[in-house]
């Protein structure tokens, strides 16, 4: 069975399937916005939808390594870059929706909004940290930076996850909607705990045995 799953994951069609699945929410949101099917407040629906899918895909991206180890399926790693770039894509859509629908591309108003509202500042900081991760998600960047520096840079994804959760929490706090926040927080905490455990196991130094 593991070998069968591995063959399926290594198929070129597997990447196509992941690409299409990750694109579906964006296609639906854009189509619904174009045909006025986003409800009474389409701007808020578009903002919330793009933000929710950014966080969801960030969680899926973070889950790739634990799943790869737990299921003993190294082939899962081939989807991580695509999912990470999709996370950035939805973050861009979220930022554009805020800049256009909420701020009307008024740069002075945008700067004031970032400075005035902490949850906007936190979300903007998470977006800024995502930019270098997306920009270096290519083989040429890995070669230019070197594997070790590239890995250190991409650990910023954990800071992004924390900031994204805080942004999501503050945004929902005013509406007394904490249940969904708790689910994402528990998931991210679980993923980070697994990564930390793996890191300590990998880097554990056994005490040197003393000979007599």
Q: Decide if pLDDT at 200 tops 90.
A: no
Whether 57 and 22 have beta carbons less than 8 Å apart is answered as yes
Quickly state the pLDDT bin for 2 (edges 50, 70, 90).
low
The C-alpha atoms of residue 103 and residue 97 are separated, in whole angstroms, by 9
Instruction: Average the pLDDT over 92-118 and give the result.
Output: 95
Angstrom distances, CA of residue 103 to CA of 9, 140, 180: 43, 37, 27
Segments making up each domain of the chain, as ranges: 2-193
Least confident of 8-12, 115-119, 163-167, 203-207: 203-207
| pLDDT at 127 (0 to 100) | 97
Dihedrals phi, psi of 177, to nearest 5 degrees:
-120, 80
Q: What Cα–Cα distance (Å) separates residue 36 from each residue in 31, 32, 98, 101, 142? A: 8, 6, 18, 14, 43
User: Residue range 18-40: average pLDDT?
Assistant: 94
- Of the CA atoms within 13 Å of residue 91, those in its CB half-sphere come to 27
pLDDT of residue 177: 66
Do the Cβ atoms of 187 and 59 come closer than 8 Å?
A: yes
* Position 212 pLDDT exceeds 50: no
Would you say residue 175 has pLDDT above 70? no
Q: At residue 203, does pLDDT exceed 50?
A: yes
CA distance 114 to 98: 11
- Residue-wise pLDDT for 35-58, tens only, equals 999 988 999 999 999 999 999 999
Percent of the chain scoring above 90 in pLDDT: 72
Q: What confidence tier does 209 reach under pLDDT thresholds 50, 70, 90?
A: very low
204 Ramachandran zone, left/alpha/beta (phi>0; psi -120 to 50): beta
- What is the rounded distance in angstroms from the CA atom of residue 55 to the CA atom of residue 168? 9
């Amino acid at each position: 069975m593991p070998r069968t799953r591995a063959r399926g994951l290594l198929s070129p069609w597997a990447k196509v399937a992941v690409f299409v699945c990750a694109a579906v929410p964006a296609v639906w949101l854009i189509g619904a916005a174009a045909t006025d099917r986003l409800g009474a407040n389409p701007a808020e629906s578009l903002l919330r939808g793009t933000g929710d899918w950014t966080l969801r895909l960030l969680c899926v991206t973070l889950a790739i390594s634990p799943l790869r180890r737990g299921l003993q399926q190294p082939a899962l790693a081939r989807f991580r870059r695509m999912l990470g770039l999709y996370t950035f894509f939805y973050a861009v859509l979220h930022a554009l929706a805020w800049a256009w629908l909420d701020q009307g591309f008024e740069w002075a108003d945008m700067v004031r909004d970032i400075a005035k509202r902490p949850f906007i500042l936190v979300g903007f900081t998470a977006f800024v940290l995502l930019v270098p991760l997306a920009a270096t998600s290519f083989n040429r960047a890995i070669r230019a930076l070197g594997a070790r520096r590239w890995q250190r840079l991409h650990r910023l994804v954990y800071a992004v996850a924390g900031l994204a959760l805080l942004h999501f929490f503050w945004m929902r706090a005013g509406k007394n909607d904490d249940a969904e926040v708790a689910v994402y927080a528990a998931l991210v905490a679980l993923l980070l705990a697994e990564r930390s455990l793996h890191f300590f196991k990998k880097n554990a130094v056994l005490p040197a045995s003393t000979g007599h």
